[in-house]
Structure formats: structure tokens, C-alpha cells
A and B are shown apart, each in its own frame.
Chain A
């Protein structure tokens, strides 16, 4: 990734004096850059070697975004509507402080649009969130354990446990 690090992406908010046309509204930087080298890989063993691991096991997908190893697109249409990034991160209250669950909207909206959760899985507030539902593959468990990191990695949600 060194080559990319030495060639940082332009900051969209600062149109360059050199006269390059400003980025089209609705197009993300991910879609202007060429696909990263990892997209040439189709073997899990090789891909896994390129992707950062998480201390508790499995791939750390948000770290992979952070390190610019992957640049997942919104779809096949490079002008597809952009989901807004959303930094409302908070604890969901548990029976005790140690049982609070960390819910970062920011970590999710890098992958998901609001409608993926609000509508089918969650109302906006004050629902009864319980571990039993996660274990049953509902609530957070609709994704965690199936595609996102598993429910057994308690401390990624219960940070103070």
C-alpha cells in the first residue's frame, strides 16, 4: 500500500488551482480512484493475507477501509446516490455500565445505508434490545455472526466488559 500512501487522494473540498474540474457532486473518491490491487485476488488464502486481522479473530473490515486496502463501491453505477456518512456514535444502555453496548453509526454507514437498518430491523429509539435476540439472529445478530464479526467477540460491543 506504500505507493498509495505516498500519493494521497485529493481533498474534494479544495478545488485545485491547477484547474482540474471539481469532483462531480454525488461521486465519491472511491469511485474516481482505480480499483485497489486486492481486487485481482480471488483466493481467500491470498486475500486474507492482504487484509488486516482483528485481535479477537477474523478480518478487521473497518481497518481495511481505514488503510485503503479496499474501496467498496455503491454499485455498478459510478453515479449511484451516495449514502451520507453519519457520526452518531453512542452506548446503548444495559443493566449495568459494564453491560452497555457500543453502537457506532460511523462504523456501519461506511457499509450500509440507513434503510438497511431503519425500516426492517430498528426503529430510531427506545426499543428493547436484548442479547437473547442477538443469539437468535435478530437485532444486531441479523448481521453479526452471519456476515459481520460474530456475537462471540463480546468486547467489540461491550467495550467496558
Chain B
């Protein structure tokens, strides 16, 4: 679905997505990048992952390394995997945290601010 080890194309999209993101990035805020780029990215950005929101609530070992490795782009994450209750879906299920219903898409799919 996505690989971070990707291409100036991906970089181009990233820059396009967040022209001022380098101004004051929050330490640990990530944005996923999709393998081979994504034509829709400007209109519907890949998901973000803000570490700070999560570390206010959880220790690192709530996620690492059982749900995610401490690296980027090594495991596959997609909406299908979320819907199976894996990866983000282990929590974003409507009980522990908001789910993937339509009013919530843009809480994850937005540019990094």
C-alpha cells in the first residue's frame, strides 16, 4: 500500500501537501506515504499519525512492537487491515477511540499542521 522508501515522486507530493509543514513540526508527528504516489493525495491526504496524542494516553509499549515496529513503512497498513481490528483498528473501533465512519475520515486523512 505504501512505502516510505519511495521516490522523489512521493517527496514531491509531500511538499505539495504541506508547503509550510517545516515551519514548526511537532516532534513525532508522521504522515503515511503511499507506494508509487497517489493522484488523490492532494484532495484526500494519506493518514497522519500524531505521537503526542497517543503518548498522552499510552506508553510506547502499548503499540511497540506488538502493533507497529519503531520504524516507518515496514508493515502494511490499509483500511482493510483497520477494519479487521488490526494496526490502528485495534483501538479505532468506536469504543476505545473513534472509528472509520464517514464523519471521521478527515480526522486521520488531513495534512499535517
A→B interface (CB under 8 Å):
35, 38-39, 41-42, 44, 47, 58-59, 61, 70, 72-76, 80, 83, 110-113, 115-116, 120, 142-143, 146-147, 149-150
Contact = CB atoms under 8 A, between A and B. Distances in A.
Given A58-B27, A142-B70, A73 B65 contact: no
Contacts, number: 74
Q: Which of B26, B28, B52, B56 has the most CB of A within 10 A?
A: B56
B23 to A, nearest CB: 13
27 contacts: A39-B56, A39-B57, A42-B53, A44-B50, A58-B27, A61-B55, A70-B55, A70-B57, A72-B58, A72-B59, A72-B62, A73-B59, A74-B58, A75-B61, A75-B62, A76-B96, A110-B59, A112-B60, A115-B65, A116-B61, A116-B64, A116-B70, A142-B70, A143-B70, A146-B28, A147-B28, A149-B27
B56 A83 contact: no
Contact of B61 (A58, A59, A113): A113
- B-side binding surface: helix, strand, loop or mixed? loop
Nearest to B113: A44
Nearest to A69: B56
Q: How large is the interface on B (under 10, 10 to 19, 20 to 34, 35 or more residues)?
A: 20 to 34
Contacts of B28: 146-147
A89 B59 CA distance: 20
B51 interface: yes
A80 B53 CA distance: 21
A35 B113 CA distance: 26
A74 B61 contact: yes
B90 interface: yes
Nearest to B29: A44
